[in-house]
Structure 1
């Protein structure tokens, strides 16, 4: 029987990208019928993410650890999402170095929000790394309609598999978008295998005024995410857990895009 009871016949409903995880998130995920979600916060060490994912997983909901890598410098930043990566990799490496570090890991590699604002992989980037990417995102609530259209164009031209997610930074957005795989997803390894093999899937998101308001609230949240104060704390002060000079092999300090 599916974990969340939201799907039938061995199918699994998965939210492939959320930024938050606590008791309220878990309750909402179960209430809307999710079987699994990928927890991938910014600027948290993989060890912390793994511990938190394990703590909030149970027989009803699988929480899979993920890392959305913040590549390169603030002005040239691009995001790459790894589902259940094997080894810790810091932020602030170049996109090339980041992809090289995760390519040999047993992880699903996703492209979140392509060409969205100033924080995304471009169509050219995706073409360059197409042999390493497992799927391209074509919808999340932070997008505007033109972002969705552009993402679909990029995915179509790339020939890669697609996915959608809630990309939830706010609890109320959990369950607003999900992927339904035509197979059980009972472990992180199951999800990685489904992504890497291009397993059959259907994608759903909610509609209506309530969903629209949640989309606008999520977009407004970007205002805080991109303030100078956050840039100073994350980059200039260099005290985030995912800084290359932190708890990582010494070689990563020399790969810092800010060096």
Structure 2
């Protein structure tokens, strides 16, 4: 019987020809592309550009809720309208609800960038899946994520969380159905479709994870966020003219403009 499942690398930060080639080489059918600080229309344009008959690229946003020191990342796809970063958690969730998006909890319990177990538990009816394997993280961190998903009773998902092209396809979520469109993927996650979380193994896998983990230094530097966000000029700052003041009431950063 022919294989009819779908392998999804459900969270990558990079997208170019090398990424597409690596995904296909690793047997990935769907990439969820959610770059930091990029507006949804631009993410969608890139996703369309790199999708083809062999690889579906789904545009997504990993929204930074809260302020930089106490932020909570939430991954959403199936969005029709843009959602900025650095708005309140409730403001982001209300917008995802309005758009009937799939809502995922990436890397729960990790540093100060993730939902904690009590937070996942409190919002379990609004979250469609919890990450249970992340190629960037260490073994004990992945085991903790699995425990969180098990304790709150939510399905899991696995990702490469690739910020570097070579990491794409190091981990994936394998669904028992064909997924050919963004709507199919949203339905698979929102309906709790059967899936298996899998990943590569061996020294090369561990090395790629270690290199990705080392990359966190820049991702979490205060200098970076000070330049990007406190000025109010960043593309996904809620006060940016692009959002037409729609999120002023839930913005956690105010500018002097």
Tell me how far apart the structure 1 counterparts of residues 136 and 170 of structure 2 sit (CA, whole Å): 11
Q: Please, which of 229, 247, 250 is the counterpart of residue 252 of structure 1? A: 247
Conserved 8 A contact 2:133-2:197: no
Residues matched between the structures, number:
253
Instruction: Give per-residue Cα distances to partners, 1:155-211, cap 9 Å, x unaligned.
Output: 111101111100000111001001111110100000000000011111210111001
1:100 is the counterpart of 2:65 = no
Tell me how far apart the structure 1 counterparts of residues 244 and 117 of structure 2 sit (CA, whole Å): 32
TM-fit CA distance, 1:233? 1.7
Tell me how far apart the structure 2 counterparts of residues 130 and 211 of structure 1 sit (CA, whole Å): 31
Instruction: Give per-residue Cα distances to partners, 1:123-154, cap 9 Å, x unaligned.
Output: 11112211110000011112111211211111
Unmatched 5+ stretches in structure 1 = 1-6
Instruction: Give per-residue Cα distances to partners, 1:66-103, cap 9 Å, x unaligned.
Output: 00001110111110000221211111111111111111
Tell me how far apart the structure 2 counterparts of residues 146 and 92 of structure 1 sit (CA, whole Å): 29
Match of 1:58 in 2: 52
Instruction: Give per-residue Cα distances to partners, 1:204-225, cap 9 Å, x unaligned.
Output: 1011100110010010000011
Q: Please, which of 22, 41, 44 is the counterpart of residue 28 of structure 1? A: 22
Match of 1:155 in 2: 149
- Normalised TM-score (structure 1): 0.95
Tell me how far apart the structure 2 counterparts of residues 56 and 40 of structure 1 sit (CA, whole Å): 14
Tell me how far apart the structure 2 counterparts of residues 206 and 70 of structure 1 sit (CA, whole Å): 29
1:117 is the counterpart of 2:98 = no
Instruction: Give per-residue Cα distances to partners, 1:12-50, cap 9 Å, x unaligned.
Output: 111000000011101111111111110001110000000
Unmatched 5+ stretches in structure 2 = none
Question: Cα RMSD over matched residues?
Answer: 1.3
1:131 is the counterpart of 2:131 = no
Match of 2:134 in 1: 140
Match of 2:175 in 1: 181
TM-fit CA distance, 1:111? 0.2
TM-fit CA distance, 1:8? 4.6
Tell me how far apart the structure 1 counterparts of residues 70 and 42 of structure 2 sit (CA, whole Å): 27
Match of 2:69 in 1: 75
Tell me how far apart the structure 2 counterparts of residues 9 and 225 of structure 1 sit (CA, whole Å): 38
Tell me how far apart the structure 2 counterparts of residues 239 and 22 of structure 1 sit (CA, whole Å): 26
- Normalised TM-score (structure 2): 0.95
Match of 1:89 in 2: 83
Match of 1:239 in 2: 233
Q: Please, which of 134, 157, 160 is the counterpart of residue 166 of structure 1? A: 160
TM-fit CA distance, 1:254? 3.1
